[in-house]
Copies of this chain bind each other. A is one copy, B any other.
Amino acid sequence: MRTTADDPPDLLRPDGTPVRVLVVDDEPDLLEVLGAVLRYEGWEVRTAADGAEAVSAAREFRPDAVLLDMMLPDIGGIEVLRRLRAESPQVCVLFLTARDAVEDRVAGITAGGDDYVTKPFSLEEVLARLRGLLRRAGAARTVEGNRLVVGDLVMDEDAREVTRDGDLVELTPTEFELLRFLMRNPRRVLSKARILDRVWSYDFGGQAHVVELYISYLRKKIDAGRTPLIHTVRGVGYVLKP
């Protein structure tokens, strides 16, 4: 069907062109990975390694959203934000910050509808936040909340609520993230390596064994005593399907 798993209308603007994202970070590896993932997910991407480059790129590229690292070698993130806003006031910004960075200051900035993610983050988290931002900003999407549905399993991404056959299921953050990734790729076999890449943060050094562990947690909470939705494909990975 499409390049990626499901079929999100939130990747196209009203005029049919793909949504544009500007990624700003001074770590080349991270820039590379983020760019690749976003492109793969259907966004049109442009990257910049510092504040000055970001501002000039934005002027020409006219992004709908900006992924902005707060710690840039030249201009501070806040100053970059100010300049971006000066030219296009309606642009969405998702900040990337260090965990210990002054979160209250960030909180002040995000008041305007923007959001932030602390490093190290997982790719799924960034994608989810970005989708959320654009959905809230864009007049495009009308529907109630962001609901993912597979069989009788329902996830409300905004409320972070999951129900199976109407029963509320309580999940820990990692479980939630894992399940979201599975639900965004139903009927497709996902390898443990891929899951690890997407759901765990990029600096996680552990083994694929954790994936098995969390799958077993999810099974206990979701599949226990019912027709299973999570299936193991031996030697390959896992699938979610009714």
Residues of A110-140 whose CB lies within 8 A of B? 110-114, 116, 123, 136-137
Is A179's CB within 8 Å of the partner chain B?
no
Interchain CA distance A78-B32 in the complex, whole Å: 10
| B111 adjacent to A198 (CB under 8 Å) | yes
With A32-B85, A141-B2 already in contact, the answer to whether A111 and B37 are too (CB < 8 A) is yes
The 8 closest A-B pairs by CB, nearest first: A36-B112, A33-B108, A107-B202, A173-B235, A40-B113, A40-B112, A111-B197, A1-B144
Is A75's CB within 8 Å of the partner chain B?
no
Is A219's CB within 8 Å of the partner chain B?
no
| B3 adjacent to A37 (CB under 8 Å) | no
Is A72's CB within 8 Å of the partner chain B?
no
What size tier do the contact residues of chain A reach?
Answer: 35 or more
Residues of A1-46 whose CB lies within 8 A of B? 1-3, 28-29, 32-33, 35-37, 39-40, 45
Q: Quick one: which of B33, B141, B241 contacts A111, CB cutoff 8 A?
A: B33
Chain B residue at minimum C-beta to C-beta distance from A158 = B188
Is A226's CB within 8 Å of the partner chain B?
no
| A189 adjacent to B159 (CB under 8 Å) | yes
Contacts of A105 in B (CB 8 A): 193, 196-197
